[in-house]
Amino acid sequence: MSKQVSPLALVELGADAPCCAPLAQRRVPAETAAVLAPAFKALGDPVRLQLLSMIASAEGGEACVCDLTPAFELTGPTISHHLKALREAGLVDAERRGTWVYYRARPAVLRQLAALLTVESTPA
């Protein structure tokens, strides 16, 4: 299985700089689409979307896998698989502390994805 490019490369352009113009304003270049697609694909799964939401909204900005797993009727290995997909897509960072792994959302990447989806209202 080939590894896809992750949005990590976009963050290096500048944490607050949008990666590109909103897609409603201009066509997304092929290279940019290739970098962003894995993140959108990861978010296309309902469990991953919920996990990211739980992590991003967690007190202190991070969540322990020990707190995430009980929220689902899924096995620990299945949750780990989904968290790995979020990590590989560049949406979260992970840090092992003893037995547990703590996850933190990557706000700069989320801002870049949000900027791409921004739809500006047009004057009436």
The domains of the chain are located at 30-117
Q: Which residues contact 37 (CB under 8 A, 6 or more apart)?
A: 4
**HEC letters along 72-98:** CCCCHHHHHHHHHHHHHCCCEEEEEEC
Tell me what pLDDT residue 54 has: 97
In terms of C-beta density within 10 A (0-12 exposed, 13-18 middle, 19 or more buried), how is residue 12 classed? exposed
- Paired tokens of 63: 């969540």
Whether 95 has a pLDDT exceeding 50, the answer reads yes
In this model, does residue 103 exceed pLDDT 80? yes
Q: Which of 19-23, 24-28, 107-111 has the lowest mean pLDDT?
A: 19-23
The pLDDT of residue 13 is 43
CATH annotation of 30-117: 1.10.10.10
pTM of this structure:
0.81
Residue 100, pLDDT above cutoff 90: yes
Q: What is the pLDDT of residues 1-11, one digit of tens each?
A: 344 444 455 44
Residue 18, pLDDT score: 55
Once rounded to an integer, what is the mean pLDDT over residues 43-68? 96
Alpha carbons within 13 angstroms on the beta-carbon side of residue 116 total: 19
